[in-house]
A = this chain, B = another copy of it.
Amino acid sequence: MKYMNFFDVVDTRRSVRRFTQTPVPDEVIRKALAAALKAPNSSNLQCWEFYWVKSPAKKAELVEACLSQGAARTANHLIVAVSRLDTWRRNRDLLIEDMQKTGPVPKFVQNYYLKLIPFLYAQDALGILAMIKCLAFNAIGLFKPMLRRPVSKADLFEVVTKSAALACENFMLAIAAQGFGSCPMEGFDEKRLQRILNLNRKCHVVMVIGVGDIDAAGIFGPQYRVDSKLVVHEV
């Protein structure tokens, strides 16, 4: 199969808010999910998850949790991207195991993954660790360039959600590259979503992505962006 060149894909991708009834083959979703997982991510800890909701019962609940918006209702496939703070240790251990296959892990990599990462990702209920981190970073930062965040749980969620978003963009572009449409949704009831997917409090729903065959009426006019001079600065 011949795929579109990259810049045509970027130009073609639009948020599609209504899909036709034409089904999208599972293989298209699988290829897009594989592309998603190739996105760069923070320290390669891969604190992301993708739920491809196929059960009709769960899908109906999911559409409702997406406030029954058209992009969810008419989507042929619904994928929920999740970021989480409770898988970094497992993924880190697997990563180190993989490194050990090709020889001893360099000391600085060991220090990074066995000391710095646990220090950054550790959280306690009272936020005392966050305070300690904040003090330590700012004290050292007085004298030399130093990390300032993540310190709080919110900071950590910003980090893992950021990585998951990079993957989501790969996913949506990969759908466009295969000639189908997608719509990223943030208008959802996260509590209901967490119940549907059995997610705990260490999970955030990053976005729900609807995928389907593009209904031309589902694209709202030409793409609008503010003048790039307002958001791109050469300094």
Contacts and interface: CB of A to CB of B under 8 A. Distances in A.
Contacts of A7: 3, 31, 35, 174, 177
Contact of A226 (B11, B42, B46, B225): B46
Contacts of A52: 232-235
A235 B53 contact: yes
A228 interface: yes
A38 B50 contact: no
Interface string A1-45: 011111101110101000000000000000101110111101010
Nearest to A162: B165
Contacts of A51: 233, 235
Contacts of A230: 87, 90-91
A86 interface: no
A102 interface: yes
Interface of A: 2-7, 9-11, 13, 15, 31, 33-35, 37-40, 42, 44, 46, 48-55, 58, 64-68, 87, 90-91, 94-95, 98-99, 102, 141, 145-149, 152, 154-155, 157-159, 161-163, 165-166, 168-170, 172-174, 177, 184, 186-192, 197, 204, 206-207, 221, 223-228, 230-235
